[in-house]
Amino acid sequence: MVKVLLIEDSAFQRKIISSIVKDLGYDIITAENGHEGIERILKEKPAVILSDLLMPEFDGIWVLEQIRARGIKVPIIIVTSDVQTMTRDHCMELGAFRYLNKPVQKDLLKSAIVQALAGGVR
């Protein structure tokens, strides 16, 4: 079964986003911060990663940098409240597949996940 990793510090957002992923029929794995997220990536080998940016300990930018530095080839969809163009551009430069704003629109997230799994273009 397809595994999707969600790195999100908010329990409320984890519940909402996990429900959307489960509606697609995928397994959901969760992590509460970037450090835990990297551990899950290495252990679980997810097909897609969904990550918040603003988290305690290690944030989503750190996760993107770690994935890039380790040569991990997994599409990452950023799901964040940060609406700054500069932040979005930086994430895309670091290899993010998509950048979606919260509150996440169910159809946009589903579409992004399906495209990422299909090897679609950014």
pTM summary value: 0.95
Confidence of residue 120 (pLDDT cuts 50, 70, 90): low
Q: pLDDT tens, 24-72?
A: 999 999 999 999 999 999 999 999 999 999 998 899 999 999 999 999 9
Confidence of residue 96 (pLDDT cuts 50, 70, 90): very high
The secondary structure of 10-72 as a DSSP string is -HHHHHHHHHHHHHTT-EEEEESSHHHHHHHHHHH--SEEEE-SS-SSS-HHHHHHHHHHHT-
Task: Output the pLDDT for position 56.
Answer: 87
The radius of gyration computed from the CA coordinates of the chain, to the nearest angstrom, equals: 13
What are the boundaries of each domain within the chain?
Answer: 3-117
Task: Output the pLDDT for position 76.
Answer: 97
Of 3.40.220.10, 3.40.50.2300, 3.40.50.1970, 3.20.20.70, the CATH number of 3-117 is 3.40.50.2300
Q: At what angle do helices 60-70 and 34-44 cross, to 10 degrees?
A: 40
Please state, in angstroms and rounded to a whole number, the distance separating the CA atoms of residues 61 and 13: 19
| Whether 79 contacts 55, CB under 8 Å | no
